[in-house]
Amino acid sequence: MTATPPGQGIQSKNRAAILAELDKEKKKLLMQNQTSMNNPGASIPISRPALNKDLRDHAEQQHIAAQQKAALQHAHAHSSGYFITQDSAFGNLILPVLPRLDPE
């Protein structure tokens, strides 16, 4: 019997949670589809997912901003280098700034 690496258990739980959420969304959409098929003249209900998504995105941005600030303060306190906050394609909250040296 092989032992699973410590990070793999967390990934497995995350995958299970995502699959459960997708399954729930699928059931919800199927129920909506059945309701609209039973009432063809019924109008499309006004939904608030876009509003909820906007609120969730705003809260996520505030959380990221707080994380960036904390990471920046920690880096400045514990390093002699200089760091900036910038969006990164790799998910880095802060990036080190390297000085440009003039070629001699």
Count of beta carbons in the 10 Å neighbourhood of residue 94: 20
Range 84-103 average pLDDT: 79
Range 63-79 average pLDDT: 83
What phi and psi, each to the nearest 5 degrees, are found at residue 43? -80, 160
Tell me: the pLDDT tens digits for 4-50?
565 677 778 888 888 888 888 888 888 887 776 666 555 555 555 66
Q: What residues have CB less than 8 Å from 72, skipping those under 6 apart? A: 83, 84, 85, 93, 94
Q: How confident is the prediction for the chain on average, in pLDDT?
A: 76
Tokens linked to 39:
């009432």
- What is the reported pLDDT for 60? 78
- What is the reported pLDDT for 50? 64
